[in-house]
Amino acid sequence: MKRAAVVSKGWLGDSIACTAAATSLYEKGYQVDFFTRWPQLAPILRNDNRYKTVVYGKYLSYKLRRPLLPKLYDLVVSEPNGWSYDEPFTSQIRRLAGCSAYPEYELFLSDVQVGTVAQEHRTISIPRDIHKRAYGRNIPELVKHLSQIAEIVWVGLDPNLSSKHGKNFNLMTEAVKIQKSSLFFGPESGLLWLAAGLNQTCYYLSEHIEVMTPRIGRGNPKLSLGSVNHFPNGPHHAFTPYCSDTVIIDKIIEYFSNIQ
């Protein structure tokens, strides 16, 4: 059997995107090793038996041994140093792997990890980094209104901590909270990638995409980022940048009304 290595090098969301190439290569008949530098992702990724998850440790040590990979594998697919933003990352990495390009991807939790507790009733999981990506929005006031609609379940890192602290963070605990909630709400971020991959309904703020678009200077991030683009037929909603809190609240009230 041919062997393939898929190497993710970027942020949490980028690593999740690269799993799309790993699953597609498996479907083409490869035995796949998936390399990630995020150890907190490994317990989640290892639920997918289509590839073997390998945490490669410090980035420098990986760079030193990277020239060995072509000698060990028939195919090596590396996350690009710069995404094109012409299409969803998942489509692009599949294209780079020589596979059919499509945006959807999957993440799984095992029954043991999730436990036997049923989905929480009327809960909204919100990542703490919403405070970091507020872009002028009064987050405490918005959350106060949302808490009158449903119970708020906070997930993710303290916004005062840098992402490097995430490597020692128990992402599995947060993934379980997200999957058991009724709805995920937050900014475009790594936890949005996680929630969408777990097939959770996601309503998200798109100010971060709006701000990053001119900085990136290529492609169209508005058509390549966010779960609406990765799951065009899925239960996701991207709020218009800088829309009023009233629009957000009304839309979430509508969501809960429809699922009753």
**Does residue 84 share a domain with residue 130?**
no
- Rounded distance between C-alpha atoms, residue 115 and residue 123, angstroms: 18
**Does residue 119 share a domain with residue 68?**
no
CATH number at residue 37: 3.40.50
Quote the domain boundaries for residue 38. Answer: 3-96
**Does residue 214 share a domain with residue 150?**
yes
Has residue 249 got a pLDDT over 60?
yes
Q: How many domains does the chain divide into?
A: 2
Write the pLDDT tens digit of every residue in 148-184.
999 999 999 776 655 555 556 689 999 999 999 999 9
Query: Mean pLDDT across the stretch 184-194?
Result: 96
**Does residue 204 share a domain with residue 88?**
no
Q: Does 101 map to a domain?
A: no
- Rounded distance between C-alpha atoms, residue 123 and residue 181, angstroms: 5
Q: Does 106 map to a domain?
A: no
- Rounded distance between C-alpha atoms, residue 230 and residue 245, angstroms: 25
Predicted local distance difference test score (pLDDT) of residue 227:
97
Write the pLDDT tens digit of every residue in 91-113.
999 999 999 999 999 999 987 77
pTM of the model: 0.92
Predicted local distance difference test score (pLDDT) of residue 134:
94
- Rounded distance between C-alpha atoms, residue 258 and residue 260, angstroms: 6
